[in-house]
């Protein structure tokens, strides 16, 4: 099991969500975050004054998946989030030691499978 964390542009969220659903990936947590990568800051002008923009608005996705869904999840995010410009984001993959579905008590891979309601 892996925890996939992706940092993407806010305007790419809808496309990424659709790509994940098409890849049968469910269970997404979304946070609004700010930060910067290689582009440490840019100078912009607003109402005649210059100011330094050091942090950029981003969306953080957290997705817990079983081993078989790791690459399809990464592929879906990259395909939908890539613009080819600086600031497209990053994907981090970390091992998950244990997962428990609170409602049923199911654990690990069984807790990660889609639930039919």
**What is the band of 116 on the pLDDT scale with cuts at 50, 70, 90?**
very low
Whole-angstrom CA distances from 13 to 29, 43, 53, 80, 91 are 12, 26, 22, 9, 14
pTM of structure: 0.84
**pLDDT tens digits for range 27-63:** 899 999 998 777 666 667 777 777 677 788 999 999 9
Q: Which domains does the chain have, with CATH numbers?
A: 2-112 (3.30.70.120)
Return the SS3 of 98: coil
**pLDDT tens digits for range 56-107:** 899 999 999 999 999 999 999 999 999 998 889 999 999 999 999 999 999 9
> Which pLDDT belongs to residue 54?
77
> Which pLDDT belongs to residue 40?
66
């Amino acid at each position: 099991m892996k925890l996939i964390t992706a940092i993407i542009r806010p305007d790419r969220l809808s496309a990424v969500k659709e790509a994940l659903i098409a890849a049968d990936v469910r269970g997404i947590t979304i946070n609004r975050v700010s930060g910067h990568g290689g582009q440490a800051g840019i100078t912009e002008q607003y109402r005649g004054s210059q100011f330094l923009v050091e942090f950029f608005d981003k969306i953080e996705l957290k997705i817990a998946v079983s081993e078989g869904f790791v690459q399809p999840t990464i592929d879906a995010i990259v395909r939908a989030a890539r613009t080819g410009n600086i600031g497209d984001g990053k994907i981090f993959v970390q091992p998950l030691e244990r997962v428990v579905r609170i409602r049923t008590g199911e654990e690990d891979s069984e807790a990660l499978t889609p639930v039919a309601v």
